[in-house]
Amino acid sequence: MQYLHTMVRVSDLEASLYFYCDLLGMIEISRKESEKGRFTLVFLAAPEDELAAREDRAPMLELTHNWDPEAYTGGRNFGHLAYRVNDIYALCERLQAGGVTINRPPRDGHMAFVKSPDGISVELLQAGEPLPPKTPWSEMDNHGTW
């Protein structure tokens, strides 16, 4: 068995690509548009998974954008996406500067949670050992749910 991808439906493809690519740093691997099916599929990979994604088509995140408006209600039964990151503080600073709420700040230098424009929880985990606690993160409260 091999893990291939996780699919999430997105209501605003451009906002989602801004979040996942520009802010989180993921890379677009491929895109497929279907006029007949009225949808766009965009496959993304984390930078360190790019070669495997291009060669093996895995592991990836599939963004599915249905062209006809549809309201997506998030359920906690989905859980979250998780990514190992090189510098959790720097990434959270970039996300916050891009208008993203840090729902669970990286107070411990190890873990944070944010949400995509469609309310998908994304867990960020520091690679290796946790970074030393750092202000303002160490004093921040949680916001909302994740």
Vertex 36 angle, CA 33 and 38, to 5°? 60
Say which amino acid occupies 107. Answer: R
SS3 12: coil
What residues are labeled active site? Answer: 123
Contact 114, 95 (CB under 8 A): yes
SS3 64: strand
Its sign, for the CA torsion 60, 66, 69, 71, is negative
- The C-alpha atoms of residue 68 and residue 40 are separated, in whole angstroms, by 11
- The C-alpha atoms of residue 50 and residue 29 are separated, in whole angstroms, by 8
